Chain A
């Protein structure tokens, strides 16, 4: 067994900083995905064919191509096209946010469709306009049902975030690689990074379960 963790000790602070670097853009990406995904889901259930068509095309493109390709296009191809030298962080939140929105929109759409039609009718019969009906009556019930699926999406996104290392963004993964190259040992830094990812997902899962419990209050 050729294992020696003592050599990476000086690099620990450097690697720990990667947690925040990762979390920072994961959180922003999740928020973008949620907001845009909700809007797309609402477009998908409208009767307006143009909005529905656009939302469907959007989903098809972002689900139909690899995330790493979307990331590369945003980071490497945008400067070529526009001359704007896009920062890695911005590229990352755009790629992950836009990609996640496609998945989230499908999850939310399914959640909305699963809410009893009687809820819509009850709200309509009371004269409640579309927007408050959606945001106060339908979406809260939909979100409750789709919370496990949403958590799954967030977990996937957190782990997939490691591919930003390919555009040089100093996330946890990239830092593990740098440490590995520095000390000519890869196993230890990768193991540490793996443990940190696992802990992050574990915490995320617990948070998800707590939110779920809170939302089940009315059961």
Chain B
């Protein structure tokens, strides 16, 4: 369970997040939507402390994570993240990308890590790309490798930061399909996305952010059919 309490984030003179509070339950899939610059990604990045909130508290399984004493590395082991621009390690093959962290961070043996990695690569449909270097892959393939890499750490929570925004349109589906499979495994997922149909389809809950404020937190059906705020109505009119 993730619990955010009054998260505020200030960059210089910009307040990007304003007192955001929400709770994400075990196994819940939450999509975060809103216009560009609304703070969606910053909010997501606070959840694994890639950004430190300026004030407020974040709890994961009732443990406060934005605390001087908390061990960031320990916390992150449990939270996978997928980035808009993949950020695969370009000097490593696909398989090496996936087995690197489990070996280094969880001290898995190479055989064990490879076994898990091969299973995961099979799940994302990339068994034949094991020995390829990332720049030989299409965007969709890269993102699927990135998902496999994050899953190899066997995290309890997965964060997705606009995972399909950098993809050619015809590759969006292959990545969303992999994510849907993941939804079905009961993984706790927080997904920042511009794919409204996907957001509506998979989400248990939708968060709508605008200008750093959490304007709506609702059931997807309710949110997409009857948004409560003018701002959300306006936004949905433009994107749907």
Contacts and interface: CB of A to CB of B under 8 A. Distances in A.
Interface string A195-219: 0000000000000000000000111
A5 to B, nearest CB: 50
Interface in B8-49: 48
B100 interface: yes
B145 to A, nearest CB: 12
Contacts of A123: 101
B150 interface: yes
A219 B135 contact: yes
A5 B3 CA distance: 86
A129 B77 CA distance: 11
Contact of A122 (B73, B87, B105): B87
B73 A129 contact: yes
Nearest to A131: B104
Contacts of A132: 104
B118 interface: no
Contacts of A122: 81, 83, 87-89
A143 to B, nearest CB: 10
Interface of A, helix, strand, loop or mixed by DSSP: helix
A136 B76 contact: no
Given A124-B50, A126-B105, A127-B73, A119 B85 contact: no
Interface string A112-140: 00001011011111111100100011001
B91 interface: yes
A218 B101 contact: no
A218 B131 CA distance: 11
Contacts of A218: 90-92, 133-135
A110 to B, nearest CB: 18
Indicate the member of A116, A125, A132 with the most B CB atoms within 10 Å: A125
A140 B92 CA distance: 10
A36 B106 CA distance: 31
B18 to A, nearest CB: 24
Contact of A118 (B73, B85, B149, B153): B85
A126 B87 contact: no
A177 interface: no
B80 interface: yes
Contact of B89 (A121, A137, A144): A137
A115 to B, nearest CB: 10
7 contacts: A121-B50, A121-B87, A125-B48, A126-B100, A136-B100, A141-B90, A141-B91
Given A126-B80, A126-B105, A144-B91, 15 more contacts: A118-B85, A123-B101, A125-B76, A125-B150, A126-B76, A126-B149, A127-B76, A128-B73, A128-B104, A129-B73, A129-B105, A132-B104, A136-B104, A140-B91, A141-B91
Query: Which 10 interchain pairs have the tightest Cβ spacing?
Result: A122-B87, A118-B87, A126-B101, A125-B81, A127-B76, A127-B77, A218-B133, A127-B105, A127-B73, A132-B104
